Homo-oligomer: A and B are copies of this chain.
Amino acid sequence: MSIPVFYEPNPIASPFLSEEESIHAHRVLRLKSGDPIFILNGIGQKFEAKIDQSTSKKTTFHLLKEIENSALPAYSIHLWIAPTKQMERMEWMVEKCAEFGIQSIGFFHSRYSERKEIKTHRLEKIVVSALKQSKNLFLPNIYPIISFKELVKQLSNKEHEQKLFAYISNPPSPSLSKSIQQNQAYHILIGPEGDFSTEESAALLASDWTPFSLGKAILRTETAGLAATHAIHLLHEN
């Protein structure tokens, strides 16, 4: 059996698993004192560790050694997306983006949004699970929903980061391969299924946001978020 992997953000100061992770260790995997485990801290480090004691409330461990320590990648992807009506579609998109690797996923509501509220707890569990499965070392941040206006305002001071929004226009906007410079922090904005309103698009075009196209096919919102994330990774492939 392969050695199980757990997530604990601060394994040096807090050498025990969360209640959720403990339940998994104790009830599902039935780990016992002395069993080997891996610990990810979600910010680039992976440790070898051994279980000290395991109950379904709290599993304690001690670290043996650090086996990976990765610097942040030279580029980062921040996805800002208007959530779909069916939350399931956002859940799988978050899982896939976390598998590919992403710095953060945040949500916004705009004029034609079908959903103005979301709960992030399930999404936080999904990114932890994708972290463990994908062997990535960085846990994506999940941000709660804010308004389109607030989001644009918050990002307005990020002058040295690349801000791009998916825009369906005729003639089509350039693709990401033509729009991005290498090794930047990218903010990718994906509007709701009903698209941005004319005023919203105009506000983005009038500021420092660059429109981009994802190709000829009309993609669903969640597919667009995934496609943009994947495209940026491919554009940084060695």
Contacts and interface: CB of A to CB of B under 8 A. Distances in A.
Given A227-B230, A234-B177, A234-B231, A136 B99 contact: no
Contacts of A218: 99, 133-135
A223 B136 CA distance: 15
A113 interface: no
Copies of this protein, total: 2
A220 B99 contact: yes
Contacts of A96: 223, 226
Interface residues of A, number: 25
A216 B100 CA distance: 9
Given A136-B217, A230-B230, A231-B234, 5 more contacts: A100-B215, A100-B223, A101-B217, A134-B219, A215-B237
Interface of A: 92, 96, 99-101, 133-136, 175, 177, 215-220, 223, 226-227, 230-231, 233-234, 237
22 contacts: A92-B92, A96-B223, A96-B226, A99-B217, A99-B219, A99-B220, A100-B215, A100-B223, A100-B227, A133-B218, A133-B220, A134-B217, A134-B219, A135-B217, A135-B218, A136-B217, A177-B234, A177-B237, A215-B237, A226-B226, A230-B231, A231-B234
